Amino acid sequence: MKRYKMTLRIHALFHTDYEDLSFIKQWANNHHHRMSVSRSYDNDSLPAQDSFDWLIVMGRPMSVHDEEKYPWLSAEKHLIRQAIDTGKTVIGICLGAQLLAHCLGASVQPSSVKEIGWLPIRLTPEGQLHPLLQDLPKQEFTVFHFHGDGFDCPKGASIIATSEAWANQGFIYQTPQHEVLDNWVMGWQCHFEVTKDSLVKMVANGNDAIQSGLKDYPKTVQSAAEIIALGDKYIEDNNARLAAILNRIANSG
């Protein structure tokens, strides 16, 4: 059984100034959870394992293999592996999911297509049956993507979502220690967490990738204007889905 049921200590790893926790911060504040952040690229110190309950690993347009360019990645990977080994709840988003998969021994490489914009995914049969995902639609639903790399399924994990362009859109994993503690490792390629403000920042800072993607992958990359316009249609539902997932993780067991 978990030693906490009320206030969580949640630590986030940021990889860029323009991509932040967005709705996750709102959810944490609403439930009076304590938040802390590390920015390794700004030489922040990483936290001790006993200082947090959850670790959230955020995104950035880079590869998990870029340690030569970003030496701080090595220390982050060590922290993530330790958190997994000790049974912490660890959640990865986009690059964060790729880092989790990499730390679990799965291959992470450029996928055959880039997905940038509001595009559909669907839960796999395993995803539809998983207790943490019972509030998500059983049919196809639309989420925000901004990625070019993809991951294979880590050994022992379950792929929980897929799209037409890339089979592995999310996974869930537990070690025996996680099972004892009722904790989880979860990675999503998509961004349930985006808000109107954070979406504008991501699009503005990713404009070069959007422009090149429109030329090379017109079926799976949308223009900046279309992305912003569609946000009004999809953001609220996706934030609600993320809140439901986080509530189930926090209350599992």
Instruction: Give per-residue pLDDT as tens, 240-252.
Output: 999 999 999 999 8
> What's the confidence (pLDDT) of residue 194?
97
Report if residue 39 sits inside a domain: yes
- Kindly indicate the confidence band of residue 18, based on its pLDDT and cuts at 50, 70 and 90: confident
> What's the confidence (pLDDT) of residue 67?
83
Name the average pLDDT for the chain: 94
Q: What is the CATH number of the domain that holds 61?
A: 3.40.50.880
> What's the confidence (pLDDT) of residue 1?
40
CB 68 within 8 Å of CB 105: no
Which residues make Cβ contacts (< 8 Å) with residue 206, sequence separation at least 6? 61, 116, 146
Least trusted range by pLDDT, from 23-37, 64-78, 151-165, 186-200: 64-78
In this structure, how many other beta carbons lie within 10 angstroms of the beta carbon of residue 35?
Answer: 17
* pTM attached to this predicted model: 0.95
Report if residue 36 sits inside a domain: yes
* Percent of the chain clearing pLDDT 70 (strictly above): 98
Positive or negative, the Cα torsion across 210, 212, 215, 217?
negative
Report if residue 144 sits inside a domain: yes
CA distance 81 to 96: 13
- Kindly indicate the confidence band of residue 253, based on its pLDDT and cuts at 50, 70 and 90: low
When divided into structural domains, the chain yields a total of 1
Domain that holds residue 146: 9-251
Report if residue 129 sits inside a domain: yes
> What's the confidence (pLDDT) of residue 2?
47
Report if residue 231 sits inside a domain: yes
In this structure, how many other beta carbons lie within 10 angstroms of the beta carbon of residue 54?
Answer: 23
Average the pLDDT over 97-117 and give the result: 94
The owner of tokens 């679990």 is 104
* Percent of the chain clearing pLDDT 90 (strictly above): 86
Report if residue 236 sits inside a domain: yes
Examine the pLDDT at 9 and tell me if it is beyond 90.
Answer: yes
> What's the confidence (pLDDT) of residue 11?
98
- pLDDT tens-digit readout, 56-81: 999 887 778 888 889 999 999 999 99
Report if residue 131 sits inside a domain: yes
Report if residue 124 sits inside a domain: yes
Q: What is the dihedral of CA 120, 153, 76, 16, to 10 degrees?
A: -20
